[in-house]
Structure 1
Amino acid sequence: GEGPARRPRCTLDAMGRVVEEIDEAGNAQRWQYDPEGNVVLYQDRDGAVYRYAYNSWNLLHREVAPTGGVTTYDYSIRMEVTRVTDPNGTVSEYIYDAWDRLIEVRRHGRVKERYAYDLADNLIKTTDGEGRPLLDIEIIPGNLEGVRTLAPRNPGGPGADGETTSGARQYFEYDEAGRITRAATGTREVTFAYDESGRLLKDHRDGLGVDHTYDGSELVSTCYFGRFQVSYAWLDVETLAITDPTGAVHHWRISQSGLIARELSSGTTELARYDADGRCLLKAGAHRLEPSLRWRRLYRYSAEGDLLSIEDLAGEVTLYEYDGAHRLRREMLPGGLQRYYDHDLADNLRRQPGLSDVVLQEGNRLQAANGDVFEYDDRNNLVRRRGPGRDVGYDYDALGMLVSCDIDGERWTARYDPLCRRVSKTWRGQTTTYYWDDFRLAAEERPDGAVRLYIYVDTKALVPFLFVEYPGREADPASGRLYFIFTNQIGAPVRVEDDRGNPVWQARIDPYGQAHIAAESQVAMPLRFPGHYHDPETGLHYNRFRYYDPILGRFLQPDPLGIEGGLNLYAYSPNPLVEVDLDGLAAQHKPRKPRAKGRNKKGRGREGRGRNRPRPQPRSRPRTGAVRIGPEGKRQVRNSRGQWVNIRNGDFAGKTHPVSGVPFDRNGFPKFDSKFDTKIDPSLHQASDDRQFRAATKNLNNAMQNDPSLRNQFTQTQRDQIASGETPDGYTWHHHQNTGKMQLVSQDDHAKTGHTGGREIWGG
């Protein structure tokens, strides 16, 4: 153990606000405030300075990055974001109706999409800038999407199975908690089942897929295709045994100090060590028949989490440099070779090894690179790439998913389930099919019928540690061939070994994902970054909701989330050595937040780059916190994961709790006598109670400086506790049902009043 962590040293201003915080390593963060208490300057632990300015309503109007890039925000009189201008001058505009619903999005002066809603605020129709329908949604009881009708983007284009032709329909069914149990098209069906805790038990396509079994809180087994079973057993508090479908057993030894050892049946053992922020510090591998290590990599980071160096087993060091905004700038290899990376003010990658002569057009779209020219459709998807000896066309469905490529006259096609998970790709008459386990790839079946199963250490792991190959789905489970996957610091595979520990695939992965595969490699390994699958036919990575080009270092399609995923709709993370886009929706690199104190406990890229600005989005489901009467007559509330959960003590709606005397509102939520109400930043909605409570207490402390009457309601002991960030004695913070709202209430009343609060609804 490392002993108890020391608390950071804080310096407060006259208003009790933190202006400097120095951690146990001596790294300082600093803040400056305007008279209204808004943060106008933040300096992070690497010395980068972010500046902010606000309008008369204390809404963020201007932010200046350490590189000098300026982003501005404009608002309506109802405080809705109406215009965002990025550092390159790209303008996004948003139009709302009288009910504050987003009805139109404009990109660089042109209408991209329009939205229509029903009386319950459900999104029911999406059209493009010319008024052509893209998506129609039929709402079923419970305010849930029952049927989607997708319009064709290219009538007469690809669609061998009829799913990209006019009137393609997707059907959805749900359980009483609002979880999807069936998602179907005209040719395929995906079904799901869950246990009482909401854990996924089944993910099947057309009757085939993955099943999970639990014993209490522990995963017991995962079964593929009803035949190939993986078993999990905890031998003690630190040792997990995994038995794969062939019967081979592998052990995980997980210590509280961040050291993890995996002992594989092949004889290879890998040690990995992580720090308190989850950053990988060490990976080392050895085989029981060899006296010395096979590999060792030591990783060193800056105070803010930028990867500074990698030292290998031979003692050779690769160094990395960054600009003031934590964007990769230079890579210095052991032999003296230096490789450069350039970004413009809007995070467009302008140069990397293999990328040059980049020319951009409006909206951060690519016009030319590497001698190729690029064309986009009216929804800003890349539709054609032409260059010397190359002519590639791309076609998309109404959801923006890539459904075909015309590669120098040859057609490549892809099909998806209604959740945008790819279920097949076809090239030169050969089709590979895919099966999923929720958000991650479970298995693939090649054109010759051979099957590959991806095995994970648990249901939350993003990267498999093993794949097993069989000649077909009916093969004897014991006959499988085992291949073990070893990854770098962000989970990208760099080595594969067979069941005897012999290397059968090795690669060097460039920062932006281009793989240089060893010539002696004997097996195919399409996995790249976590959530990325490489297609050699197109040269692209399938990244769930979009496709990514590792040579260009950018996506083909704009982010489906709009600026929710980042101001640049095409950019990959400019710090790819520590940040990963898992599903094509957000590369995690966000500007520094104008927040007070800013205790970055989880490391940049998780919440240090959090989302501070409003992100306009159309409403496609009932909002978080919506209440209904469920199928069994019980009051239910919709949580942030889209599930309907029963409201505890909902029968007390409009009544008083018999023990605590706390009244309940008409929806079944308690109405505590609150000493102080506040809202916490959206980046903290999924954080721990401790971090949420400290943020709420900080807001209370700031309010007390400006309100003597509020300050006088607390004893001196309680004031001291509040000033130090602690919840005052006798009180607790109640998660109100309204998203982000916290209330300081009597600890005794709170404990005696059973209720459903914000923890179950919006996080905590």
Structure 2
Amino acid sequence: GTERSVKYDALLRPVAIIENGRCVERRRYGGPDTKGHNQCGQCIRHDDPAGSQMDDEFALAGGVLEQTRHFLFNPENVDWPEPLAERDALLESGPGATTRWAHSPLGDVISQTDAQRNVQTFAHTVAGHIEAISLSLPGQTERVPVHSIDYDAQGHVTSETAGNGVVTKALHDAANGRLIELKGTRADGQLLQHLLYDYDPAGNVLRIDDRAQPTRCCAGQRIEPVSTYQYDTLYQLIQATGREAKKLNQGPVFPSFQCPLDPTHLAKYTQTYRYDASGNLLQLTHTGTQSHSRTLVTSQTSNRSLPVINDQPPDEAAIAAAFDANGNLNELQAGQAMSWDWRNQLQQVRPVVREAGDDDKERYVYDASGQRLRKIHTTKAKAVVHNAEVRYLPGLEVHSNSATAETLHVIVTQAGRNEVRVLHWQAGQPEGLENDQVRYSFADHLGSGTLELDKNAHIISQESYYPFGGTSWWAGRSTIEASYKTIRYSGKERDATGLYYYGLRYYAPWLQRWINPDPTGTVDGMNLYRFVRNSPLRFADQQGAAPYDVPITVVVANDLSEFNPEQLSKMYKVRDVAVSLLTFTRSELLKASPRRDVKKAFDATFGALDPSARAATSIDVEDSLRQMQELIEPIGSPESDLTLFLFNGPEQILASTDFRGEFQESVERIGVSASLLANYDVLEGARSLIHEASHVRLNTVDAFYYLTDPDKLLVDGADTAQVKAWSGEFRQSLRKISKHGPNEKQFDPADYTVAMQALTENAHTPAQRKQEFLSNATTRTSLLLMNADTLSSFVMATKKPARYAKKRMNQSGN
């Protein structure tokens, strides 16, 4: 087991973390003497398993302006002493790697200077989106990797121009935000990428057509550049077709590299997938020029699985032995041992084990947040041990290789849809490759790098993927040049082990599962190894924790810590207003004689009720409001158990609740649209937050909505008259539904039908449901309390929102 303790200072700030008797972290905070650099109260030195991070200067808004990373001389099993001099002695000598940032008054980063003095400058639109990036290497003229980035109202990138003249255009469905066309065109008009997407009504990708690739005929086969997909009733992928290299390598190994692409070496394939009830892959069947299958056996007592090898299925004992007590996989493949640290982070993989020692191995070192900062690959050749290392810094990767005497700096820029990397060799430049080579990577809807171009828009490499991330074919103009590609499937780095590094854990594409349990727990259901809900064309995962719906939303911030200052301030106002409205309404419901406006809103919501039913319903409503208030009030504090994320999506979606579990029975997190915070009044935000909180605490469903006209939503800074009219619209809509019943022709009645049938047997037809709703007060009240939009609309139908707006105007002097 692991024993962990935390030491705090007099202000209850953590200053040391002890794990199994070793001090793995220490923190030092700025005091009054450091106020000149805005360090007072900030953590200014953080010693962690990778080394020491010094935050030397802060902006007034709290953003870091200057940060220096010192790496450990020996990264294994650090034990930080308390004296500063003794801690410094454990670090590599030298000034460290310093990164500097400049911020706008709104907190946007406008420039970044990395540890090698490469300067990236960011231009923003009035909405805060990045519009262009310029890059200056020391002693060189400025270059512009990407510019003219345009966005639609949902924040999707619609057009951008790369520094090599390639224009990428993306077309999204206005009704739901799904990407339907992605086109990349060279300056001379040649199409380099042209992807067309077809979806089913639920948003699952059915077909991807690459019009930039020709149809080929080979060995009597017509090979079209088309991929198709089929799903089961749980929307898990069960069949896929596409193109692949004729010579395959199963497992973590790449298929043969084609130089150049040979059309006769491509063939069609079909893959089918079968899962158990928990979403574990049972069998992959591959049909193509080299047909094969892969079968996995899952434990009866957990979701731990192992592949069948040499037709010998593993038994329960073998599966148990293949994982440690925390569920981490012990071997990548037979004889390839993996080691894990006390934080369940992959520490080392040994692909080659030698009796005399000096194993080939790949070791990983992480910072305090769990992000990888070092990758050290050790090999032995002719009795000589060589190290190839990558160090990860903000906007920069430093590669070194003792076998080739190579030192390579990779400058990374990311804006819009695509990524640009500049390869600068300080030593060991390979023959035939130019220094400061600019490589433009173009991606598909998942962010997978499918096309690499040089500064003249000529193809460096092309790559295609199987649905779950394996490479189906790979081609380019030079084997050496293509070998410097590291970012592949889903925009993630593929290690020499064949594993993809996602940030919080590693993914094995040939197994279609994570190699250790979800470190955040059951945020995506009880199966902690399942990858993106077995729907890899629709869902992606940024960190290895929580999949998100790619076609519909673009995640802007994963939690409150990633909101910009303006968004965070607005979010806290939304929280405070929601709490104020809930507190007021609850207090009135507890009175024997509530205020007249609350009584009118209550009657409009629930219709005519006898005195006993009215009293019982009032108690139920007050208790429901209390539960939502208890969820909302701690938002932003350590006591909150709710995760809020920010997204760009269709204009009509202002907020959302992400569910988890096979039957979507549990809430994962609440999403808030960036448009809601930027364009709408805090009262509209409070209504949306209360609506989503009812999903979380009350398990409500979206049976129907009250205010459905988007033109009647409350825009930012609405005056008192506008708020009064807005509340009046809610009272009118509430009264209309309680008197006449929901109009099933105005919304998708699926959830409404299910809810009614759960309450009464007399709900098979629209006429029966309407009659039951109007004549049976118990059914009507129960249904209204099951509907997520009911209580948020009831609260807004009182006069409290107008009183808030009036007070706001008086305070502003209007």
Give the match for residue 731 of structure 2. 719
- Contact 2:465–2:489 (8 Å) recurs in 1: no
Give the match for residue 188 of structure 1. 51
- Contact 2:274–2:283 (8 Å) recurs in 1: yes
368, 373, 387: which one aligns with 2:307: 368
SS in 2 for 1:562: coil
Give the match for residue 452 of structure 1. 410
Give the match for residue 16 of structure 1. none
Displacement of 1:496: 0.9
417, 421, 424: which one aligns with 1:467: 421
Q: How does 1:146-161 map to 2 (within 5 A)?
A: 146-151=15-20
**Cα distance between partner residues in 2 of 1:649 and 1:468:** 40
Give the match for residue 341 of structure 1. 273
SS in 2 for 1:378: coil
| Letter of the structure 2 residue corresponding to residue 567 of structure 1 | M
Using the aligned pairs only, state the percent identity: 17
- Contact 1:268–1:286 (8 Å) recurs in 2: yes
- Contact 1:495–1:505 (8 Å) recurs in 2: yes
Give the match for residue 283 of structure 2. 351
> Greater shift after overlay, 402-411 or 483-492?
402-411
- Name the Cα RMSD after superposition: 4.7
CA deviation vs aligned residue, 1:157-208 (integer Å, no higher than 9, x gap):
xxxxxxxxx6142123467898755431376112446534454544542242
- Contact 1:649–1:754 (8 Å) recurs in 2: no
The alpha-carbon distance between structure 1 residues 685 and 544, as it changes in their structure 2 partners (threshold 3 A), is: closer
Answer yes or no: is 1:245 the counterpart of 2:136. yes
Give the match for residue 232 of structure 1. 122
The alpha-carbon distance between structure 1 residues 293 and 384, as it changes in their structure 2 partners (threshold 3 A), is: closer
- Contact 2:235–2:535 (8 Å) recurs in 1: yes
Aligned residues: 516
Displacement of 1:255: 4.5
Give the match for residue 684 of structure 1. 670
Give the match for residue 481 of structure 1. 437
**Cα distance between partner residues in 1 of 2:490 and 2:572:** 42
TM-score (norm. length: structure 2): 0.55
Answer yes or no: is 1:542 the counterpart of 2:501. yes
Give the match for residue 271 of structure 1. 169
The alpha-carbon distance between structure 1 residues 144 and 543, as it changes in their structure 2 partners (threshold 3 A), is: farther
Answer yes or no: is 1:419 the counterpart of 2:369. yes
Give the match for residue 744 of structure 2. none
Displacement of 1:494: 0.8
SS in 1 for 2:136: coil
The structure with more radius of gyration: 2
Give the match for residue 171 of structure 1. 26
| Letter of the structure 1 residue corresponding to residue 296 of structure 2 | V
The alpha-carbon distance between structure 1 residues 747 and 186, as it changes in their structure 2 partners (threshold 3 A), is: closer
Displacement of 1:752: 6.2
| Letter of the structure 2 residue corresponding to residue 425 of structure 1 | K
CA deviation vs aligned residue, 1:393-436 (integer Å, no higher than 9, x gap):
11111100111122230322111111211121222231323224
- Contact 1:416–1:422 (8 Å) recurs in 2: yes
The alpha-carbon distance between structure 1 residues 742 and 504, as it changes in their structure 2 partners (threshold 3 A), is: farther
The alpha-carbon distance between structure 1 residues 649 and 370, as it changes in their structure 2 partners (threshold 3 A), is: closer
**Cα distance between partner residues in 2 of 1:308 and 1:606:** 23
SS in 2 for 1:564: coil
CA deviation vs aligned residue, 1:259-299 (integer Å, no higher than 9, x gap):
622222223222222345553222212222x3432221111
Displacement of 1:333: 2.9
Displacement of 1:305: 1.4
Q: How does 1:489-508 map to 2 (within 5 A)?
A: 489-508=445-464
SS in 2 for 1:747: helix
Higher relative contact order (CA 8 A, sep 6+): 1
Give the structure with the larger helix fraction: 2
| Letter of the structure 2 residue corresponding to residue 485 of structure 1 | S
- Contact 2:205–2:537 (8 Å) recurs in 1: yes
**Cα distance between partner residues in 1 of 2:54 and 2:428:** 22
Unaligned runs of 5+ residues in structure 1 are 1-131, 152-165, 590-600, 612-623, 625-637, 651-656, 663-671, 706-713, 726-739, 756-764
Give the structure with the larger strand fraction: 1
Give the match for residue 324 of structure 1. 233
- Contact 2:303–2:527 (8 Å) recurs in 1: yes
- Contact 1:210–1:222 (8 Å) recurs in 2: yes
Give the match for residue 179 of structure 2. 280
**Cα distance between partner residues in 2 of 1:180 and 1:321:** 51
Displacement of 1:369: 3.5
Give the match for residue 301 of structure 1. 199
CA deviation vs aligned residue, 1:489-547 (integer Å, no higher than 9, x gap):
110111111111111121112211112422645232211344632111x1111221211
Give the match for residue 126 of structure 1. none
TM-score (norm. length: structure 1): 0.58
Answer yes or no: is 1:576 the counterpart of 2:445. no
| Letter of the structure 1 residue corresponding to residue 800 of structure 2 | S
SS in 1 for 2:302: helix
**Cα distance between partner residues in 2 of 1:212 and 1:494:** 31
The alpha-carbon distance between structure 1 residues 468 and 646, as it changes in their structure 2 partners (threshold 3 A), is: closer
495, 520, 527: which one aligns with 1:561: 520
Give the match for residue 127 of structure 1. none
Answer yes or no: is 1:312 the counterpart of 2:210. yes
The alpha-carbon distance between structure 1 residues 366 and 333, as it changes in their structure 2 partners (threshold 3 A), is: same
- Contact 1:531–1:583 (8 Å) recurs in 2: no
- Contact 2:122–2:130 (8 Å) recurs in 1: no
- Contact 2:53–2:69 (8 Å) recurs in 1: yes
- Contact 2:418–2:443 (8 Å) recurs in 1: no
CA deviation vs aligned residue, 1:542-575 (integer Å, no higher than 9, x gap):
2212111111011111111121243111111111
CA deviation vs aligned residue, 1:123-152 (integer Å, no higher than 9, x gap):
xxxxxxxxx33422223455443222233x
The alpha-carbon distance between structure 1 residues 185 and 697, as it changes in their structure 2 partners (threshold 3 A), is: closer
CA deviation vs aligned residue, 1:78-113 (integer Å, no higher than 9, x gap):
xxxxxxxxxxxxxxxxxxxxxxxxxxxxxxxxxxxx
| Letter of the structure 2 residue corresponding to residue 248 of structure 1 | R
Unaligned runs of 5+ residues in structure 2 are 31-38, 71-95, 216-223, 244-266, 287-291, 354-358, 380-385, 574-579, 585-593, 599-621, 632-656, 658-666, 677-681, 704-725, 738-791, 810-814
530, 534, 547: which one aligns with 1:587: 547
**Cα distance between partner residues in 2 of 1:421 and 1:363:** 28
SS in 2 for 1:577: coil
SS in 2 for 1:750: helix
SS in 2 for 1:720: helix
The alpha-carbon distance between structure 1 residues 718 and 318, as it changes in their structure 2 partners (threshold 3 A), is: closer
CA deviation vs aligned residue, 1:601-652 (integer Å, no higher than 9, x gap):
9948989xxx9xxxxxxxxxxxx9xxxxxxxxxxxxx989999x999999xx
Answer yes or no: is 1:434 the counterpart of 2:391. yes
Q: How does 1:587-736 map to 2 (within 5 A)?
A: 587-588=547-548, 603=552, 677=625, 679=628, 683-684=669-670, 686-687=672-673, 688=676, 690=684, 693-694=687-688, 696=690, 718-722=730-734
Displacement of 1:721: 3.6
**Cα distance between partner residues in 2 of 1:724 and 1:262:** 48
Answer yes or no: is 1:518 the counterpart of 2:475. yes
**Cα distance between partner residues in 1 of 2:499 and 2:421:** 22
| Letter of the structure 1 residue corresponding to residue 59 of structure 2 | D
The alpha-carbon distance between structure 1 residues 231 and 339, as it changes in their structure 2 partners (threshold 3 A), is: same
**Cα distance between partner residues in 1 of 2:28 and 2:736:** 50
Answer yes or no: is 1:392 the counterpart of 2:247. no
The alpha-carbon distance between structure 1 residues 405 and 187, as it changes in their structure 2 partners (threshold 3 A), is: closer
